[in-house]
Structure 1
Amino acid sequence: MTYWVDRTASLKPGQPVTHALVIGVSAYDHLPGGPLTFGLKSLSSTAAGAHRFAVWLRDHYHNPRAPLATIRLLLSPTAEGEPADREHVRNAVLGWQEDNSRNSSGTSFLYAAGHGVMLSHEDSLVLLQDFAKDRMVLDYSLDIGSVYHGMAGDQFPQSQVYFVDACRLRPEVFARFANLGTGVGLPSPFAAADRRSSSVYFSAAPGTLAYGRRDGEGTIFSAALLDCLGGLAVEAAGAGEFHVTGASLLRTLQEQVNSRARQYNAEQYVTGGGTGLSHVVHYFEKPPAFPYAIWLDPDHARPFVRAEIWDGDRNGLLADGRFEPNPASWDLPAGLHSLDVIVKPGDNRFRTRSGVALLVDGRQARPKVVSVE
């Protein structure tokens, strides 16, 4: 297959890089169908969510230790990339593994979205465009567990990230058959050393559903994921470095997906897997900024005070102004900052407040209250 993005010519030969494989299926050739199609129909949002993630990788992903080299993109329906049927997905998975076999210090991403069925609590299948082409219906699926196990070994990236945006249900028809086919996977040695730091994010808990957004612009999971990678899951690493780790992403994804599903009167719970969550998923070239709200107490003090917000070392003024309206909001970079609320000279009704700590991380639930009485 051809790459959707290929930057290898601009990178140093032999340097650690990032290779990504993105698969999204909304259109199914043989749905709805007979009893072996589990009552499924085509979808409206999974391919769109996968495409948005691929665009984020292309335009925003930052990893100075392993810059983006390639993206393989397979979508059904497709206006970009290649179709997400068995033949194309099989070639893409094998090619992605081959590229990564010479990339032990690099990073790999797999994003797969579509209808899903569950083989066990640990493994899942994502159904491909030609699912149910014949009676061996699961031949036309992607076996996430097989791909994951096939990427074990010291020759493969020791930092790996997997996103699986699919339902995790076990159809009742499974009880009537010993074999309905074998999904696309990877060969794996019987006893490969597995020292990688990998994180796996399932958009739904075992036995539950994953949901699309009503506007068709992706899924609840994909929208939450992009917001998390855009800054909601940021962590400060010291020395002015900000990044998203496997652990911070899991924690924030769980919060965000659960909250957004409730807006649709639904429940959806992200679950995680892998061998470790300490690795960095994404670095920020500069701290992400968030609106930060501050409530002045009492409100009638507004005409007589002004705010100054400084960086943590109090070397740089980040924002200043009056509390109009109250609460007032300023866009501030992530990190620990310092607030001064300065009273107009000669006014003894209120007191100046200096060095009030402001922790900006995108998770502010209610305004910070600062009293000048």
Structure 2
Amino acid sequence: MTLVFDRRAKFAGQPQTHAFLVGVSEYTHLPKPNEPPDAEKFNLQRLASPALSVWEICRWLIANADTLTCPLATIRLVMSPSAKEKPKLTPIDLGQGKQLKKTKIDPADWKHFVPEAIEWRKEASADRNSMTFFYYSGHGLERLGTPLITLADFTDPAAGGVLQRSCEVAANFVLGMAPSANRPEMARTQFYFVDSCRETVMDYPGLANPPGTVWDTLPGIDDRATPMFMASYPGAIAMTIAGKRTDFCEALIKCLDNGAENRDLNDPQQRWPVSSFTLNTALSNHFQLKKTGQYSTAAGTSFKNVTLRWLTSPPEVEFRLVIRPDAAIGVTGLALERVGGGFHKDIPPSEADHPYAVTSRAGIFQLTAKAAAGFSEVTDIQLINQQTPNWPISMAAIVPAPPPAALPAAPMAGPPAAPPAGPPAAPPAGGG
């Protein structure tokens, strides 16, 4: 079974969201992690995180089905989990006493991937106001400047070429989802998430090219929004720990939950939108703080600002209070509160804990900084959301007033000065 979630009938006649999730950990033709890599298979080995990551994205989508811009109607899921992941694929609650279990999922090989992609495209072509959500996790490669995704039977010697069980993400898969003469009502909002490495493939002599083709790409007017979020830069790797969700999956779920910036004043419900722009900012901030060097800024054939989901309350944000200059850090205490209430935090001076990390709901905050000595008190007000990961606090040093200038010494008192010497004055002229 691949169609694991279906509410098409409930939302018939209105825009819907259609999701397609692909997770590949158990590559049947790649060496196991404890076996030596094979250069003819690009030194790749089997994985133990992607299937679990896709499973958790599926869980998140179902739990948040009615918060998406268009209500979630379908999820198509193919995955090939490793033995280490299988115990962690706990049932997903579908509501009304139903559960989705791992035993009912088809493998993520080419045989199952392509037919499900075709069905997914068919669902997406019913209403131009609908939305699609594609998430892939597994081995990725970069060839001739184009990212590839691979399926569970990648490097199958019977496929006719070592790259045949892979496909180009942007050049084939995304372009094949464009409107065409046969699909004029194709969904115009399409989100793509590629959780994989992008190590460069060199075309050595004898390499059977090109990669596999999911569908033909036809010329036409492409007015879609296709934001694409990549877990790594070209030539780089994506981080993961075997048996756990990938770093990108962890970050994406966190940012989908909190990646809004401002309330939409034009929305009748005054909600907070998580859009392609705000989600990109949230992911960038997350990985900058982690300093892992991964996550490539979102791109796409047409990267427009489109809303993926809505939050009904202010999102949780993480930010840091940064005191300058350094001499003020050890003597300055902070008092931080959210205007309107709901948050107050006193932070004593601590060079060891600086810069000070704070987690709170987005909003307007007032800060007071007081130094024990040497610096003037500072009061500041800021709108805090994910666009303000750092709040700089500039402390002004108190300059001591210079001592008063010394007055010139007054002359000492003494006898009056004698008149100057000279001849006596002549008597006045005239008779008496």
Scaled to the shorter chain, the TM-score interval is 0.7 to 0.9
CA shift, 1:367, in A, is 8.1
- Picking from 268, 280, 286, the partner of 1:250 is 280
Which of the pair has more CA radius of gyration? 2
CA shift, 1:131, in A, is 1.2
Cα distance in 1 for residues equivalent to 2:290 and 2:331: 37
Partner of 2:153: 130
How high is the TM-score relative to the length of structure 1? 0.78
Cα distance in 1 for residues equivalent to 2:336 and 2:207: 69
Aligned CA distance change for structure 1 residues 85 and 61 (closer, same or farther; 3 Å): same
CA shift, 1:283, in A, is 1.9
Aligned CA distance change for structure 1 residues 368 and 359 (closer, same or farther; 3 Å): farther
Deviations 1:116-135 (A, max 9, x none): 222332x3221111112225
RMSD: 3.6
CA shift, 1:68, in A, is 0.9
- Contact 1:165 1:203 survives alignment (8 Å): yes
- Picking from 158, 168, 181, the partner of 2:198 is 168
- Contact 1:295 1:370 survives alignment (8 Å): no
Cα distance in 2 for residues equivalent to 1:114 and 1:100: 24
Partner of 2:29: 30
Aligned CA distance change for structure 1 residues 307 and 258 (closer, same or farther; 3 Å): closer
- The alignment partner of 2:164 has SS state of helix
Cα distance in 1 for residues equivalent to 2:280 and 2:177: 21
CA shift, 1:259, in A, is 4.5
Deviations 1:274-296 (A, max 9, x none): 21231112321222134677799
CA shift, 1:42, in A, is 0.5
1:228 matched to 2:255? The reply is yes
Partner of 2:221: 193
Moved more, 326-335 or 106-115: 326-335
Aligned CA distance change for structure 1 residues 2 and 363 (closer, same or farther; 3 Å): same
Aligned CA distance change for structure 1 residues 369 and 323 (closer, same or farther; 3 Å): farther
Moved more, 273-282 or 146-155: 273-282
- Picking from 83, 93, 96, the partner of 2:117 is 93
- Contact 2:68 2:309 survives alignment (8 Å): no
Cα distance in 1 for residues equivalent to 2:188 and 2:310: 17
Matches within 5 A, 1:214-293: 214=241, 216-231=243-258, 233-239=259-265, 240-260=270-290, 262=292, 267-271=293-297, 272-290=299-317
Aligned CA distance change for structure 1 residues 181 and 352 (closer, same or farther; 3 Å): closer
More helix by share: 1
- Picking from 199, 212, 215, the partner of 1:183 is 212
Cα distance in 2 for residues equivalent to 1:298 and 1:204: 36
Cα distance in 1 for residues equivalent to 2:72 and 2:283: 23
Partner of 1:345: none
Cα distance in 1 for residues equivalent to 2:271 and 2:39: 54
Aligned CA distance change for structure 1 residues 370 and 50 (closer, same or farther; 3 Å): farther
Deviations 1:234-262 (A, max 9, x none): 22143233222222323332343354353
Deviations 1:13-34 (A, max 9, x none): 1110110111111111111286
1:110 matched to 2:134? The reply is yes
Cα distance in 2 for residues equivalent to 1:270 and 1:298: 34
Deviations 1:166-219 (A, max 9, x none): 2223333x2313634642512332x2220011111222222x122232364222
- Contact 1:242 1:284 survives alignment (8 Å): yes
Partner of 1:141: 166
Equivalent AA in structure 2 for residue 99 of structure 1 = E
- Contact 2:136 2:193 survives alignment (8 Å): yes
What residue ranges of structure 1 are gaps of 5+ in the alignment? Answer: 311-315, 342-349
- Picking from 37, 47, 51, the partner of 2:51 is 47
- Contact 1:243 1:282 survives alignment (8 Å): yes
Cα distance in 1 for residues equivalent to 2:154 and 2:358: 50
Cα distance in 1 for residues equivalent to 2:295 and 2:214: 26
- Contact 2:68 2:308 survives alignment (8 Å): no
Partner of 1:344: none
Partner of 2:417: none
- Picking from 184, 189, 193, the partner of 1:159 is 189
CA shift, 1:103, in A, is 2.5
1:8 matched to 2:8? The reply is yes
- Figure out how many residues of one structure are paired with residues of the other and give that number: 346
Partner of 2:402: none
Partner of 2:424: none
How high is the TM-score relative to the length of structure 2? 0.68
Cα distance in 2 for residues equivalent to 1:27 and 1:261: 29
- The alignment partner of 1:276 has SS state of coil
Identity %: 26
Cα distance in 2 for residues equivalent to 1:301 and 1:221: 37
- Contact 1:30 1:133 survives alignment (8 Å): yes
Partner of 1:313: none
Moved more, 103-112 or 126-135: 126-135
- Contact 2:19 2:75 survives alignment (8 Å): yes
